[in-house]
A and B are shown apart, each in its own frame.
Chain A
Amino acid sequence: MTDRDFLTEEELDALLPSPPIFNVGAVKERVLTQISPVEQPSAQKPSRHLWKGLLLAAAVCVLSVSCLAVADYASGGRIAAALGIVPVAKEEESASAVGQSAELVPNKPVSVNPVKAEPEPESEPELPELGAELTNSFSFTPAQTQLLRPAAQTVNKTAVNQNVTMTVLQTLGDSQYLYIAVRFDFPEGVPVDTTYRFSDMDFLVDGQQGNSWNSTVTECTTHSVTYLISARSFEALSGQTVTLRYSDYGFYKPEEQDATTLTLPSGKVTIVQISADGNIVFNNTDATVTIGDKTTVQVGDTSVVLGGGNEESAPAGENVSSEAPAAQAAPTNVPTRTETDEARGIITYYYADGSVLVTCDGTHGEQYLVVADEGTSSFRIIDDPSGHPGFNTLLPGKWEQSWTLSYQDLSKSWTGKESLFVPGYNLAALRISPLSCHLEFSGQLDLNDPDANIPYVPDMAVTFIMTDGSTPEQAIHLSGRSAHTEEDGSYISVSEQRFKTPIDPSKISAVVIDGKTFPLT
């Protein structure tokens, strides 16, 4: 039984066709800039007298430096040379020097300035070969690889910090979608596997805000990691300058924390929503439970230490009839289990002494462990209740590279105004690229009609007419939409679909939707 009044992540996921896309950094920026300035994290403010002193000192410095600069210019730089002031080295050179001199000291962060690589001259436009990083990630066929060459751009720009080299290898894009392959090469002594990662990544498009992205590891060796970044923008990407920035290399480690005891309403066994347990990993697919070392479980007044990386399996969707995780891991200290109950991802173990062990889906895709003790009407959250393990930085710093996107958008499109599906739901634009299909509808809501809705079409079937006149039977199905309504009731509704395998728009002459034909140009 539960008295929670909100949906779990699992229940929400089941109701969502795809995960929402947003930039958490942008959310944070919006929120933090809107809270009261006194609430912002800040250093201690200098007093008014100190400010006056600083301003006076700054003015004197500016005048002195200005006079010195004029004299130095007049003397052809001899004054500066006499004072030992040398020209500032290029950022990349100094960064490299820092990297070469810095010793690798795990768990002992040292302060390193952000490194922004020197912009390099743009290479001459040429048709690039699609690199292995992209072709392997998508399993492109040779024909598809050839087709996509104009939409690819070989970047090959590097930024070095802490002897770690970031190389932006290649991009592949259409009007609004962009894939970026980026590799990090690490020096000897730096641990490299999927446990280790960068604490933060940013993808920025100059002058644009509505972009989003996600990142996956496509290859990991003992000395390098290759990521594939999948980005989306609401404005055209080709021709824009973009920046890719990574921060701090390290790993997440569950913090050691004491068990927490919360009081329950009398006479009830309650499941509360807490977050993941770093030491207990539940695999929802095959109902495998992996218990990490030295996980403490408290059942009633008995404290039990689980451990040894035990792995237990139970058939998904069935009651766990084998030993409960706690019982199998430490049979000597755990009360006899009398019953189990599993429903909707929640497994409850009932013990003879009245205590109840409950495992539930966590908020981050893992599960957490709660021990509910009916005897004392309390339960204990075991191990890492925050579910937000701290990030341990091994190599502090930033790795950043900017470049201008220069590739051919292979999209074919149609624009106009044609009512589809529902009267007044007007197709305004459609675009087919090798990578995606994009439909844009416009319309007007009657603000006086309380029942006025943006029409929702659960499944839009899009079929093609090829240049040779043939019509493939297979259709593209677009479900879901995103929409934006203005104050005056006008709206734009977008439905789009990324293709799992690329298509060749040059062989498509028209698109058929809702029985109407739209020629592509």
Chain B
Amino acid sequence: MQDSLSARFRIGDSAALEEVIDRYSAYAAKIISVFLNQTLPPEDMEETLSDTFLALWGSRERIEGDIKPYLAAVARNAARTRLRKYHPMEPLPEEPLLADGAPTPEQATEKAEQRAAVHQALEALNSADQELFLRFYYLDQTVAEIAAVTAQNESTLKSRLKRGREKMRQYLIERGLA
């Protein structure tokens, strides 16, 4: 069972680690690939995945409940580290989910509400903007990172985000959701 796997993983059962790798490596690989907007050579992917699972293993005692949200965050961070190798940019942000300093309840609520609104209103956007919003809100990519991996201009992306938010707001208002 899921809870049992999380529990075994949390207490340091290496068999659970193997099971987690078996079960979730494909998912983590997809996050990494999408984050970098490219499919890495297998050896680089294997290295990045190893970093991901090692980081997850190192933070296992902080995991509460399902492993997958934590894995998603760690995979994003591993991809971000890999991106830094390609494109040196600003300092790495703190790992959001596994950092000791958790977001305040207000911040968490605000973020969850934003994501919920994005999710509801995504269909108001064209596919390119949907990708942009998924990257920004769900992959937690900065505009600079999205620009780096998609070879687009930062100011263009900012404009598209602004226009997209307006479209989504209008969409939600029309449906009485905002």
Contacts and interface: CB of A to CB of B under 8 A. Distances in A.
Interface of A: 1-7, 9, 11-13, 15-24, 26-28, 30-32, 34-35, 39-41, 209-212, 232, 234, 257, 260, 262, 272-275, 343-344, 363, 381, 385-388, 445, 447, 450-456, 458, 480-485, 491, 494
B161 interface: no
A453 B3 CA distance: 42
A212 B46 CA distance: 10
Contact of A456 (B22, B45, B140, B150): B150
A454 B148 CA distance: 9
Contacts of A27: 21, 25, 46, 49-50, 53
Interface string B16-27: 011101111111
Contact of A484 (B41, B87, B131): B41
Contacts of B73: 5-6
Residue of A18, A257, A451 with most partner-chain B CB within 10 A: A451
B2 A210 contact: no
A234 B41 contact: yes
Given A5-B111, A32-B18, A385-B2, A22 B42 contact: yes
Closest 5 A/B residue pairs (Cβ)? A6-B72, A456-B151, A30-B50, A20-B29, A3-B112
B87 to A, nearest CB: 5
- Among A6, A9, A257, A450, the most chain B Cβ lie within 10 Å of the Cβ of A6
B43 A234 contact: yes
Nearest to A447: B88
A7 B22 CA distance: 19
Contacts of B29: 19-20, 22
Contact of A16 (B33, B42, B85, B112): B33
A41 B19 CA distance: 13
A28 B138 contact: no
Contacts, number: 195
B139 interface: yes
Contacts of A41: 14-15
A154 B151 CA distance: 46
A21 B45 contact: yes
A363 B68 contact: yes
8 contacts: A4-B115, A15-B34, A19-B30, A30-B47, A381-B2, A386-B4, A455-B151, A483-B38
A447 B88 CA distance: 7
B88 A210 contact: no
Interface in B71-103: 72-73, 85-90
Contacts of A23: 42, 46
A26 B2 contact: no
A452 B17 CA distance: 37
Interface centre among A2, A12, A40, A491 (most CB of B within 10 A): A12
Interface in B142-156: 148-151
Main secondary structure of the interface of A (DSSP, over half): loop
Nearest to A494: B41
A485 B29 CA distance: 19
Contacts of B59: none
A273 B68 contact: yes
A24 B22 contact: yes
Nearest to A11: B134
Given A16-B34, A20-B39, A260 B2 contact: yes
Contacts of B69: 4-6, 273
A277 B19 CA distance: 17
Given A5-B138, A11-B138, A32 B14 contact: yes
A31 B42 contact: no
A450 B5 CA distance: 42
A31 B38 CA distance: 23
B50 A483 contact: no
Contact of A453 (B19, B39, B151): B151
Contact of A6 (B2, B17, B138): B138
B168 interface: no
A1 B175 CA distance: 14
B14 A386 contact: no
B2 A274 contact: yes
B7 interface: no
Contacts of A274: 2, 66
B31 A275 contact: no
B72 A1 contact: no
Given A7-B138, A260-B2, A12 B46 contact: no
Given A7-B138, A12-B33, 9 more contacts: A6-B72, A7-B72, A12-B30, A16-B39, A39-B12, A386-B5, A453-B86, A453-B87, A456-B38
B126 to A, nearest CB: 13
Given A5-B138, A385-B1, A450 B50 contact: no
Nearest to A486: B85
A233 B43 CA distance: 10
A358 B49 CA distance: 31
B101 to A, nearest CB: 17
B47 to A, nearest CB: 7
A327 to B, nearest CB: 26
B160 interface: no
A274 B25 CA distance: 15
Contacts of B63: none
A26 B46 contact: yes
